[in-house]
Structure 1
Amino acid sequence: MASSSKKIKNNEEFPTDWDIDYYRADHESDEHWQMRRHFMELHKDKFPEDRLVCLAAVFTNMEFMGCRYPSETMQLVAELSKEVVKDYRKSRETRLKRTFVAASEAAEARVKGRR
């Protein structure tokens, strides 16, 4: 059993042979799943399954939806996700940026002949 479990700080052992793919949601995009999956793969030997699944969900909520959590949680997830987000954020820099304009500004510009 030693090969399928790891020790954590308080000498508690937990299994590491669980299936990450079990946690993919039907509605989850490939991009979100790949990020969440990579996060779990990197840290599978550091946290029990239930805690890691929650941390991975927090990570994707922070990264993709801008969610905020208590500062201790934000700091932990930011540290754990450094390697995961590096390439993703770099690839996002080259994507087309969208500029949102208020409807009133768009209408005014159209009336003035600017498109």
Structure 2
Amino acid sequence: MSALDVDEFIQQNRGLADQVETFRGYWESEKHWQARREFILRNISDFQLPQQDRLLSLSMVWANNVFLGCRYSTELLDKVKDMAEGIEVEDAPVFKTRDEIMKKQQGR
């Protein structure tokens, strides 16, 4: 789903889009929210009402990993990466682990 597809989906599903807008955190930048909103919209049909909190949690895990470099279990990251397949985040930060930095320092 490209940005154009997301906009079209929102136009066609105004009620759902309005509901999803309520999930935005006050701390989220426009860039952060646009990506997380796309994640939610792509996956919302797989998570009915009792499971919507799970979807929101998974969207935060994905966004925290992409934008803040937070690390989670391999199993969880694999799951959210599969759920986010095709979402393009422009200028996403690149994070290096302490081990990667140390290995580079030792190679000098």
TM range (shorter): 0.5 to 0.7
Matched, 1:20 2:23: no
> Once the two structures are aligned, what percentage of the paired residues are identical?
32
* Match of residue 100 from structure 2: none
C-alpha distance in 1 between matches for 2:91 and 2:75: 27
* Match of residue 9 from structure 1: none
CA distances 1:51-85 after superposition (whole Å, capped 9, x unpaired):
1000000010000011111111011011111211x
- TM-score calculated relative to the size of structure 1: 0.58
C-alpha distance in 2 between matches for 1:27 and 1:75: 26
- TM-score calculated relative to the size of structure 2: 0.62
Give, as a single letter, the amino acid of the residue that structure 2 aligns with 1:60. Answer: A
Larger Rg: 1
For 1:1-115, what aligned pairs fall within 5 Å after superposition? 19-47=19-47, 48-84=51-87, 87-88=88-89, 91-92=90-91
State the shift of 1:34 in Å.
0.3
C-alpha distance in 2 between matches for 1:78 and 1:28: 20
Over 6 Å off, 4+ runs: none
Give, as a single letter, the amino acid of the residue that structure 1 aligns with 2:58. Answer: L
Q: Where is the helix percentage greater, Structure 1 or Structure 2?
A: 2
In structure 2, the gaps of 5 or more residues are 1-15, 93-108
